[in-house]
Each structure stands twice: as C-alpha cells, then as structure tokens.
Amino acid sequence: MWPLVRQARNLGRYRQIAQVLTRYGFGFFLDQIGLASLLSLPRRVLHRTPQIELTGPVRLRLALTELGPTFIKLGQALSTRPDLVSPDYIVELSKLQDAVPPFPTATAIALIEQELGRPLAALFSQFDQPPLAAASLGQVHTATLHDGTAVVVKIQRPGIEATVNTDLAILTDLAALAQERTALGEQYDLVDLAWEFSAALRGELDYRREGRNAERFRANFADFSCAHIPFIYWDFTTSRVLTMERLVGIKINDIAQIDTAGLDRKLLARHATEMILQEIFSDGFFHADPHPGNLFAMPNNVIGAVDFGQVVILDRDLTRNLLLLLFAISERDVSGMLRSMQRLDILTPRELTPSIRRDASRFIDRFVDQSLEELSARETINELFALVQRHRLRMPAPLALLLKALVMMEGIGVLLDAQLDVFKIARPYTEQALRELAAPERLAREVLAEGRELGEIALNLPRQVSTTLQRINDGEISVTAHIPEGHQIAAALMQASIRLSLALVLASFVLGIALLGVAIALGLGGGTLALFGTLAGAAVLFVGVALIISFLRRGLG
C-alpha cells in the first residue's frame, strides 16, 4: 500500500528525484512502478529521449551523483551485486566517488564543541582549518592533542542524518512499488534488499560503531607486524565525531612517491594481499571497502588502513562453503562447484539445469591448461559474476562484498607488482582453513550438533503428526481428496510418519555408533576429546532407544 502520509511529508524530495531521473532518461521506470501517476507527471515527459548523449550506465552514475549521498551509496552497493545489474553497469557504478565539497570549518568546530562539551582549545593544542578530505557523510581535519599526539578528527556532515533517513524512507517506498510491478520484483525480495541497505547505511552514521570496528581490526592484526590500524581516542569520540591516530604514509596507488621513498613495492603488494586473506580465512571479519584511498604505504613496508565504516562479518558456514567452492574449482570438480553454489544460496536445486551445468563446466575448463601463476583472481571472480548474471541467480550480499573486496585488493597488488601471484599467496591460508574444517574436534562438535537436532526432530515427530491428525479431525484443517474414505488418508499419513520415524531411529543408531567409533579411535591416545566422543555417541544412542520405547508405548511398532 502506498504510504500517503509519508508521500505528503516528502513530496518535495519525491518530485526532485523524479525530475533528476527523468532528465537522465529513466522516466520510464517511474511510469512502470506507478510513481508517475501518484506525482501527476505527464507521460510525454517521462518517455522523452534524454538530451545527454551518453550510455545508460553513465547516465545512471550521473543521476545518482546529482541525487546526493544516499544515492551515491546506493550506486556503490549496486556495483557489488552482479545478480541485480549487468556488467556494464557494475563497471560504471564502481566509479562512483564519495568526494563532495567540504562544509565550512566553523560549522565543523561548532559541532565538535557541542558533541564533546568543551571549547576546541581545551580539546586540541592545534586544529588545522582546511579539511584533509571531504566525503558525502562527513569530513576529516588533522589536529594535535595537548600531549603532542597527532590525530585526525572525523566530523559528520550537518543535517546528513535527516537527509539520509528521508531518502531511505523513499527508497523503501520505491522498492515496495517495484516489488509489485516489475519483473525484478518477481525474482528478488526488493523490500528486504532495501532494508539491508538502510541498516548498513545507518550503521555508517554512528561513528562509535566505526571506532569499535577499528579496535577489532587492531586486535586481529596485533601479531601481524606488516599492518597498522589506527588507535581510537574514545575521550574525543561520539556518534558524530571520531578521533583516531594520524597515520603518516603514502597512498597505496602513488607509485612514484613509493619509489622515491625507497619502499619495496613487491613486499607492499604481498602484505596488502596477506591482510585481506587473514581477514577472510582467519578472522571472518573483513574491510568491505579496501580502495586505494583507504590504504597507505608506511615505513618498513607496513600497510596502514583507515575508514572502517563498511565491514562484513563472515559466519562459519559461509567461509566453509566458499572454501569448498574454491577447492572444487581448483580440482576441476563441476558437481562439487554446483553443490557449493547451492550451499552458498547462489543456486537452488530447481535452478540446476543442464544449461547451468554446461556453463559451470566451461567455467572450470578455462583453468585446465593454466597454472595458478597464470590465473587472475579478478578474471576468475568476474567470470563467476557473469555466470550468476547470465542465469539470473542470486548472490548473498556478504559474499558479493567479499568477492568485490578481493578484486579491489588484487588490483592494488598488481599495480604494485605486475607479477603478483594471488593464488600462490592464498594457498597457505586456504590449506590451513581446510585443515581446521577437517579437524576431529570440529567434526565431533558438528556431528554432536547434528545428532542433537536429529534427535529433537525424531522425538517431536509423533506428537506433531498426532496433533495434525487431530486438527484435521476437528475441522481446523480441511483436506480435499478424490478418495472418499477419509480413514484411508489418515492411515496413509500415519504409515508415512511411521516409516520416517523409524528411519530417524536407524539414523540415530548409525550416528551414535559412528561417534563411539571415533571416540574409540581417539581414545587410543587418551584425552578429553575421546571422552567427548564417547558421551556424544552414548547420547545419540540413548535418543534411539528412547524413540523405540516411545513407539512401543504408542502402539506404532
């Protein structure tokens, strides 16, 4: 339903968005989703050929830039989603930059004093007036604390929170309309995607969250001497002001300055690559925006990183399934690749057609005659994106951001060292991660968890079947069938439940015996793990016995 109250409140912004989209040749979209009639926009204007003779992707990038911070961020998010937009749009939207004119320094100072509750002179011995950088959400000034510490102070752009909230409300409305009236809405949950984007962008508006992210990265890289994460000064930080250690270095893509400083480009490339590999395969917590403006080459070939507003937390299953996908590709295992894509929610069993199997085989065949040294992570990932796009599959947002970050990091690495072999550097990380996945302790924990879940399902099944049949008998659930005798339906359902329950009993026994076997094997050397396996096996066997007793009591045996 169209939110009339919100439409009236934000009518001016709706019209502004409609005018910009129409001027750049996207009025047809407004007509398609029904916004044109709601805003009383004439169709002849909406379908007018744009005066700007540019490609569609370029026109979209210019339109989003003109619409401001929220839409710039939207374009950047879309550039990571090959399942939603075509490759030519991804290339163009990747060019979107956050750089915007700075706001007055006096305004920045007033906001700092308001947030921190003290005059600027009491906070800093020096505060540099011209901003070091300005972006869509805020700008950065260099300063010095009274103890002589060099810092940077990030100040949120005045009024940006209200602007972003208004635009996010409108985007949610547009997503709801597109959900109902476009082909894309039939394939994707656009409202849910809009919600995800809104949550991520609102998270970036809280600088305390960014500070906590920086501290987590700093802890993760405490033993990695080739990475430097700035220290956060919490006494000078709020939700709208962030004060951190100032890094002195050279932008990672300034090759001339790096060479002049006598730094080793090959080592820098390796260290930058190792950073993101550790984030993905060891920490499960990675920097989702590792563009050259956020990375610095520092003395002793150390990589400095800043701007931790965009991060992604990888859960255990996603990391495991990504590893299995990479392993299947390296082993040229088409079936394994497709199974991994299903586990990653890229592919569903219904979409596993001969066509996609053929394309997956071609994807793998591309690597048959190439050594790892000849492969490019960028080309490999871009081909995977093309496969997803061609078959209109889905790409989970965390996975899309991860793959995009890998592409960006390889681009930086190759810029520093044209001979960089990303796969060779990655091999120890992936092998270690695979060893951890296959570790007996981890397997035992997972088997126990699966056994417990299986036991819960089996114990609850008879009661659930009985409840369902009772609801059918009471008329709460109606069953339409061509068999006139209702008792035949009930008998068939009961027989099916018996068979399924007995299968679960058998599975419980098999699982319990397997666990006891593992425990016995491990018990040869003694230790806590053997005891753990024994208890797990005994627990699952107990579930099987309990099920049999349950069946006998109910007369189902």
Mean pLDDT for 336-355 is: 88
CA distances from 546 to 124, 448, 466, 552 (A): 70, 17, 18, 10
- pLDDT at residue 157 is higher than 80: yes
Strands 302-305 and 311-313: unpaired
Task: For 429-461, give the DSSP string.
Answer: HHHHHHHHHT-HHHHHHHHHHHHHHHHHHHHHH
CA distances from 479 to 144, 223, 461, 472 (A): 76, 64, 20, 7
Q: Determine what percent of the chain falls in helix, strand and coil, rounding each to the nearest 5.
A: 65, 10, 25
The phi and psi torsions of 298 (rounded to 5 degrees) equal -115, 165
Q: Is 120:113 a contact under the CB 8 Å cutoff?
A: yes
pLDDT tens, 246-257? 999 999 989 999
pLDDT tens, 488-507? 655 555 565 555 555 555 55
Lowest mean pLDDT across 170-174, 266-270, 372-376, 520-524 = 520-524
- Please tell me the predicted confidence (pLDDT) of residue 474: 67
CATH numeric code, 105-160+204-309? 1.10.510.10
Q: Which two tokens stand for residue 36?
A: 């044109």
Rounded-to-integer distance, Cα 123 and Cα 447, Å: 56
Domain extents in the chain: 105-160+204-309, 440-554
- Please tell me the predicted confidence (pLDDT) of residue 149: 96
pLDDT tens, 129-152? 899 988 889 999 999 999 999 999
Strands 302-305 and 227-228: parallel
- Please tell me the predicted confidence (pLDDT) of residue 366: 74
Lowest mean pLDDT across 75-89, 259-273, 424-438 = 424-438
CB atoms closer than 10 angstroms to residue 300: 10
- Please tell me the predicted confidence (pLDDT) of residue 255: 93
pLDDT tens, 431-461? 777 776 665 655 555 555 555 555 666 556 6
List of long-range contacts for 108-113, beta carbons under 8 Å, 24+ apart: 108/139, 108/141, 108/155, 111/155, 111/156, 111/158, 111/240, 111/241, 112/153, 112/155, 112/241
- DSSP 8-state code for residue 364: H
- Best CA proximity match to 308, nearest among 284, 288, 282, 281: 288
Between residues 320 and 544, the one the model is more confident about: 320
- Please tell me the predicted confidence (pLDDT) of residue 462: 65
Model confidence at 525, in pLDDT bands (50, 70, 90)? very low
pLDDT tens, 3-57? 544 556 788 888 889 889 888 888 888 888 877 776 666 665 555 666 667 888 9
Q: Is 151:244 a contact under the CB 8 Å cutoff?
A: yes
Model confidence at 171, in pLDDT bands (50, 70, 90)? very high
- Please tell me the predicted confidence (pLDDT) of residue 524: 45
- Please tell me the predicted confidence (pLDDT) of residue 526: 47
Between residues 72 and 486, the one the model is more confident about: 72
Task: For 302-316, give the DSSP string.
Answer: EEEE---SSEEEPPH
pLDDT tens, 77-86? 888 887 788 8
- Please tell me the predicted confidence (pLDDT) of residue 488: 60
Q: Is 514:536 a contact under the CB 8 Å cutoff?
A: no
At 516, the amino acid letter reads L
Percent of the chain with pLDDT over 90: 30
Q: Please list the active-site residues.
A: 289
- SS3 for 139? strand
Model confidence at 121, in pLDDT bands (50, 70, 90)? very high
Buried b (16+ CB within 10 A) or exposed e, 331-345: eeebebbbbbbebbe
Percent of the chain with pLDDT over 70: 71
Model confidence at 557, in pLDDT bands (50, 70, 90)? very low
Mean pLDDT for 388-401 is: 82
Most confident of 32-41, 204-213, 275-284, 465-474: 204-213
Model confidence at 463, in pLDDT bands (50, 70, 90)? low
- Please tell me the predicted confidence (pLDDT) of residue 428: 80
- Please tell me the predicted confidence (pLDDT) of residue 501: 57
**In whole numbers, what is the pLDDT of the chain averaged over residues?**
79
CA distances from 300 to 120, 266, 269, 271 (A): 35, 13, 13, 11
- Say if pTM beats, i.e. exceeds, 0.85: no
- pLDDT at residue 516 is higher than 90: no
- Please tell me the predicted confidence (pLDDT) of residue 456: 61
The phi and psi torsions of 395 (rounded to 5 degrees) equal -125, 110
Model confidence at 108, in pLDDT bands (50, 70, 90)? very high
- pLDDT at residue 470 is higher than 70: no
